[in-house]
Amino acid sequence: MTKVIGLTGGIGSGKTTIAHYFEELGVPVYIADDGAKRVMKSVSVIEKIKIEFGESIFEDNVLNRSKLAEIVFNDKERLAVLNSLVHPAVKEDFEIWRKQHENYEYVIYEAAILFESGRYKECDLVITVTAPEEVRIERVIKRDNTTKEQVLSRMKMQWNDEKRISMSNFVINNNNLKIARGEVVKILKILNIKQNQS
């Protein structure tokens, strides 16, 4: 059966870049955030979001994700409510995708809150991507055109690196992209050796 490798890291760690490295090397990748965007366009999830968060975050029946983010990233309880609506649908979406890739030895499941959501329990292995905090803040400010305060507020909602690392099988330091890519190659070699031994 196809093994699931969980890939996670804090905001701005560059885990999606690392996910793409795996993809380039032939490992299928499922990005949970993209899955969430897809399921949040489905009628059933939209209706549930409207009930919980009101019509004001919709424009012409289209969800305004930045308005929703403003609400949930400043309120742990509201974030938990949103996750309870979206995560089951993402899980379902992933299972459909996984079946389409069952001829592969490994697939990557990339998710920012792999540990926080409990999804790590469904992974055979977990890789955590790290980077220095200042580098992460700089990346997110540039990517999202946001402020340092907003980035720090989102960081507080996530586990810290120490906690993630303590529960991971592999760690990739993504401060230098060339070195990080080398780490991906190394991990795949180890996994292939394990696969050949089993």
Share of the chain above pLDDT 70, in %: 97
- The answer to whether position 197 is within a domain reads no
Is 2 within any annotated ligand binding site? no
> What is the pLDDT at residue 193?
65
pLDDT band for position 196 (50/70/90)? Answer: low
Crossing angle of the two packed helices 133-144 and 148-156, in degrees rounded to 10 = 120
- Which of these three, 83, 100, 117, is where a domain ends? 100
Together in a domain, 111 and 184? yes
Is 9 within any annotated ligand binding site? no
Report DSSP state, residue 59.
Answer: E
> What is the pLDDT at residue 194?
66
Report DSSP state, residue 154.
Answer: H
pLDDT higher than 80, residue 107: yes
Which carries the bigger pLDDT value, residue 62 or residue 110? 110
- Which of these three, 74, 100, 126, is where a domain ends? 100
- CA distances (Å), origin 74, targets 37, 71, 78, 143, 174: 20, 6, 8, 20, 27
Together in a domain, 112 and 160? yes
Is 16 within any annotated ligand binding site? yes
pLDDT higher than 90, residue 195: no
Give the whole-angstrom CA distance, residue 158 versus residue 150: 13
Q: Which pair of structure tokens corresponds to residue 154?
A: 């989102």
CATH number for the domain that contains residue 112: 3.40.50.300
Domain that holds residue 49: 34-100
Is 14 within any annotated ligand binding site? yes
Name the β-bridge partners of 9: 129
- The answer to whether position 148 is within a domain reads yes
- The answer to whether position 187 is within a domain reads yes
- The answer to whether position 66 is within a domain reads yes
Give the whole-angstrom CA distance, residue 86 versus residue 68: 13
> What is the pLDDT at residue 189?
94
Together in a domain, 79 and 122? no
- 40-82: per-residue pLDDT in tens? 999 999 999 999 999 999 998 889 988 998 899 888 899 999 9
Helix H or strand E encompassing 42: none
> What is the pLDDT at residue 36?
94
Together in a domain, 96 and 157? no
> What is the pLDDT at residue 66?
87
- Which of these three, 46, 70, 100, is where a domain ends? 100
- CA distances (Å), origin 65, targets 20, 93, 111, 167, 189: 24, 20, 18, 31, 39
